[in-house]
Structure 1
Amino acid sequence: MSVVADRPAVATPTDQLPTGVFDRPDLPHGSGHERVVFCQDRDTGLRAIVAVHSTTLGPALGGTRFYPYASEQDALTDVLRLSRGMTYKAAVAGVDLGGGKAVIIGDPNAIKTPTLLSAYGRFVDSLGGSYVTAGDVGTNSDDLDIIAEETAHVVGKNTTAGGTGDSGPQTALGVFLSLRAAVESVWGSDDLTGKRVGVEGAGKVGYNLVALLLDAGAEVIVSDSYAPALDRIAADFPGVIIGSDIIGADIIGADIDIYAPCAMGATLDASSVARLRASIVCGAANNQLLTPDVEEMLADRGIVWVPDYVANAGGLIQVEGELRGRNSAEVMATIGKIRDTVAGIFAIGRAEGILLGAAADRLAEDRIAAAQQR
């Protein structure tokens, strides 16, 4: 196994996406990372990147995304954005963790093997605990159990292996609570009866969010590019409208009140915002805005965006509880506070005339700054 740390920036034309780590104009100001480490294990086919954005509040914790990126450049861009988001997520959630993320490049259905996961576990262990991994797109608790055979720096394992299991349900709960807070702020009541919610992505989080929405009386439309996920939704929730039956795979242009992106990020850009018919955007996907100025585009159309790293913090809170040995009651109480946090962000936005993204960033940055002063 070979490891390369702190890769230097590569000069590229300004009209192309940067390929390096440093001075990235496509990332928000002040997003410099503490450490970015590359790993390759030729014997197993492992190609991975771990990005540690900040350890100011604690060890950098974030999931490992196993995904068939088109290029190493795309993988690097994703891990840099995701890890920064984890720093802000942990800060706003009030847990003592920093922000990190990892990506494994490749199709998990084609190359994921126990030996590859073991090699990845050794890679994580070589970082000495500065990064703690968990599950994400393409990885699950069974995978984490294998990784845990090589390193102690892993959470989200199965309960039989001493973990707390899949964090999807708790992530979905946090999104649901955030969504209700947004609905109350926008329409004066958190009643979801008759509200039409478009859930994009029917995976670990989207599936559980659908169940919560239906129980609350919402009408739900679901889209997913993976047909078996839609088949499962149709079988388990007969009242759900399958988006492909009426609008194809694109749910953004559907007649919906709330758009809940729960798949991959960057679905909101100038083009999609122009087609969006919802009044609220609140979902579990990370980095939903292609660029930060997209929130202004949404606001210009009267659409409220709940910052993704606030809404989707439930899973992080769960695995933080696993890491610290907290009981389920403590974990659930902390997840319950997400609704209050979202309501507080709305209050700041109204009082100061700023967007919710700026209000959330301020909460995160104030907590990080206070920790740095201490």
Structure 2
Amino acid sequence: MIFLDITDTVFQSIDVSSHDEFDHEKVYYYEDPQIGFKSIIAIHSSSAGPAIGGCRFRNYSSFQEGLTDVLRLSRGMTEKNHAAKIPFGGGKAIIFADHPKSQATLCALANFLNLLEGAYYSAEDIGITLEDIQFVGQHSAFVFDNVDPGPYTARGIFYSIEAALKYYLNKDLQSSSISIQGAGSVGLTLANHLADTGATVYIQDIDFRKLEHIQRQNIIPIQNILSQECDLLAPCAIGGILDRQSILELKCSIIAGGANNQLKTMEIDDALLALGIHYVPDILINSGGVIGLTKDILGRNSNQIESDLQLIAERAVNFMKIGQANNISILQAMNASVS
């Protein structure tokens, strides 16, 4: 077993603290060679409380790619938790999916969390299910295993989409078309919420099996979500889908979804503004999951949670107004508010 604080070291030929995405408190590495387990946990900030975030199990082409992902995602968690006004900092865990996930994998994650002694609490994310986290919870106290955060994320995004369509296009949901990338816990739940209102919903997922059982007439599976003509695009899968090339395919007026780090680089925000596309940053509207995850520990009841999820949209509209009044993007308006 290898457990290292790599924050201020050169690890695998990378000077971690000199990484372009680094402005973190701590970065830890854990490896169990016997089972082929390799993982990184990044703690971006603990100033508001213990760092919390999800654990992602996915293939990375290199250690550097995994490090970049965990650094960006953990910073996003700090911003998301701040937006949700919950007393927690931001962090993230990734596991390199070099071998199939097993109970041994989850036990190794539990050991990693235990070594950090509560500096970081983990929940589910891509590749890690609620059931996985509940298993980890049998071996570590440092998890949020009470709920699936996906439906809470979806609800907050639903209210934000409704608000964005009204603000920018003066349209209600029933007369709108929304394209969703990703049919997971967030994307499919969001699709059903929108379909309930009468909206036309297009949905795409790289795993076609997730779309086979959709029977609602106004939820339409398609193959190329980016080029689908619609009022609003909601990315709800992996990040980094919006780059210089892909944004030229877009046939939407608004982007508002739950995927983390949708912009390949921050310059894409300026490019979208120049194209006349309103980008609602993920960190502003996808905080419903952490609101749901922390509801029990913060003693929030169902009515309070629903109110908190509706407030996500209210805060988003405030930044829409600031952006439009100053001819800047929502992201620029958000950055100006904290500078």
TM-score, normalized by the shorter chain, greater than 0.5: yes
Whole-Å separation in 1 of the counterparts to 2:111 and 2:298: 22
Whole-Å separation in 1 of the counterparts to 2:189 and 2:148: 11
Q: Cα–Cα, structure 1 residues 291 and 180, in superposed 2: closer, same or farther, change >3 Å?
A: same
Whole-Å separation in 1 of the counterparts to 2:259 and 2:9: 28
Whole-Å separation in 2 of the counterparts to 1:39 and 1:317: 29
* 2:123 alignment counterpart: 134
Q: Is the 8 A contact 2:7 2:26 kept in 1?
A: no
Correspondent of 1:111 among 87, 90, 100: 100
* 2:164 alignment counterpart: 182
Whole-Å separation in 1 of the counterparts to 2:336 and 2:113: 31
Correspondent of 1:21 among 8, 16, 21: 16
Residue pairs, 1:1-374, within 5 angstroms: 1-8=1-8, 19-25=14-20, 27=21, 32-106=23-97, 111-155=100-144, 157=145, 163=146, 165-189=147-171, 191-232=172-213, 234-235=214-215, 237-244=216-223, 250-363=224-337, 365=338
Query: Residues 105-153 of structure 1: CA distance to partner in whole angstroms, max 9, x if unpaired?
Result: 106xx62111220121111111121111011101111111111122211
Query: Residues 226-251 of structure 1: CA distance to partner in whole angstroms, max 9, x if unpaired?
Result: 1211213x24x34322112xxxxx31
Structure 2, unaligned stretches of length 5 or more? none
**AA partner of residue 261 (structure 2):** N
Whole-Å separation in 2 of the counterparts to 1:212 and 1:20: 45
Q: Is the 8 A contact 2:198 2:218 kept in 1?
A: no
Q: Cα–Cα, structure 1 residues 3 and 343, in superposed 2: closer, same or farther, change >3 Å?
A: same
Query: Residues 31-80 of structure 1: CA distance to partner in whole angstroms, max 9, x if unpaired?
Result: 50000001101233221100000011111110001111222211111100
Whole-Å separation in 2 of the counterparts to 1:275 and 1:11: 39
**AA partner of residue 181 (structure 1):** A
Whole-Å separation in 2 of the counterparts to 1:24 and 1:178: 33
Whole-Å separation in 2 of the counterparts to 1:9 and 1:229: 42
Query: Residues 219-278 of structure 1: CA distance to partner in whole angstroms, max 9, x if unpaired?
Result: 11111111211213x24x34322112xxxxx31111122111000000001101111110
Q: Cα–Cα, structure 1 residues 70 and 93, in superposed 2: closer, same or farther, change >3 Å?
A: same
Q: Is the 8 A contact 1:46 1:104 kept in 2?
A: yes
Q: Cα–Cα, structure 1 residues 145 and 345, in superposed 2: closer, same or farther, change >3 Å?
A: same
Structure 1, unaligned stretches of length 5 or more? 13-17, 158-162, 245-249, 367-374
The Cα RMSD (Å) is 2.0
> Runs (4+) of structure 1 moved beyond 4 Å?
7-12
Q: Cα–Cα, structure 1 residues 320 and 74, in superposed 2: closer, same or farther, change >3 Å?
A: same
TM-aligned CA deviation for residue 304 of structure 1: 0.2
TM-score after normalising by structure 2: 0.94
TM-aligned CA deviation for residue 325 of structure 1: 3.6
Whole-Å separation in 1 of the counterparts to 2:16 and 2:329: 28
Counting aligned pairs with the same residue, the percent is 36
TM-aligned CA deviation for residue 8 of structure 1: 4.6
Whole-Å separation in 2 of the counterparts to 1:55 and 1:134: 17
Q: Is the 8 A contact 2:37 2:108 kept in 1?
A: yes
Q: Secondary structure at the match of 2:258?
A: coil
TM-aligned CA deviation for residue 328 of structure 1: 2.7
